[in-house]
Amino acid sequence: MQLLSTALILALANPVYASGSHTGGHGHETKKTEDGSHGHSEGNGDAGHHEMAAGMPGMANMVTRTINVSMIETDDGDMIFEPKSLEIKAGETVRFAIQNKGELEHEFVLDTVEKNADHKKLMEKFPEMEHDDPNSVRLEEGQSGEIIWSFTNTGTFEFACLIPGHYEAGMHSSIEVADAGGSAAVIYTKGVVKKVSAKSGKVTIIHEELTNLDMPAMTMVFRVSEDAMLEKMKAGDNIEFVAERLKGKLVVTDLK
């Protein structure tokens, strides 16, 4: 009888594990809309919240733009977010309008690459865990939700699905947050398209010196920030493009 009472006390003292939720202690209330979607309450945003490396919850009346994000499974078995990458200025408050267009449950977790990697390892050990933080939302098939976020720091961040196996299937997108005060002119580099590989999302370019990357003229394989860019290029085309180093990869971010 004494053993049973002790077990009952321990169970009541640990409700987090019983619920299967993973909370970061932010105290941010998640609400479920009438259509079954999940979003976050529009309180004062940053009250009671500690700033993270990627920023902090934002206020609805401070939103500077809305970015639509789709969760999709492809016919090739990949799981992806659209868009695949974003460029944001420090100081912006963004409303992420997120929709699960796939057939599986997915989640959106915004953080540094390193923090997401740590959380992903934890979820591999405890796959029943579900994030309940202001920088995340989990959506079942057909559901939609939103996160309002203020980007207070510059750097490279990402939003990702940390459900076991989903990240490895391609479900992560990069966010580059640049200094809002930066007013340097965009530098376009001349080049000739040597090869376009739509399947791999890459293009080979014979280019002049990339001054912003301190790279001499050579022939190089680039990824693209948007798949639509590949449709605008074919072998032999003379182009002018902008290339940046994102998450250790060379990426064409603009084209004219």
Which is the CATH superfamily of the domain at 189-255? Answer: Copper binding periplasmic protein CusF (2.40.50.320)
The residue extents of the domains of the chain are 14-178, 189-255
Using CA atoms, how far apart are residues 56 and 72, in angstroms rounded to an integer? Answer: 26
Same fold, 14-178 and 189-255: no
What proportion of the chain, given as a percentage, has pLDDT over 70?
78
Average pLDDT over residues 68-75: 95
CA dist list (Å): 198 to 21, 207, 222 = 40, 20, 12
Q: How far apart are the first and last CA of the chain?
A: 77
pTM of the predicted protein model = 0.56
Give buried/exposed letters for 185-194 (b at 16+ CB in 10 A, else e).
Answer: eeeebebebb
Residue 28 has pLDDT above 90, yes or no: no
CA 100 to mean position of chain CA atoms: 14
Average pLDDT over residues 233-251: 91
**Per-residue confidence (pLDDT) for residue 5, from 0 to 100:** 43
Q: What is the pLDDT of residues 75-124, one digit of tens each?
A: 999 999 999 999 999 999 999 999 999 999 999 999 999 999 999 999 99
CA dist list (Å): 82 to 55, 97, 173 = 22, 12, 8
> Higher pLDDT residue, 18 or 36?
36
CATH 3.90.226.10 matches 14-178: no
Using CA atoms, how far apart are residues 65 and 56, in angstroms rounded to an integer? Answer: 16
Q: DSSP of 166-205, one letter per residue? A: TTTTT-EEEEEEE-TT--PPPPPEEEEEEEEETTTTEEEE
| Minimum mean pLDDT range among 10-19, 102-111, 178-187, 224-233 | 10-19
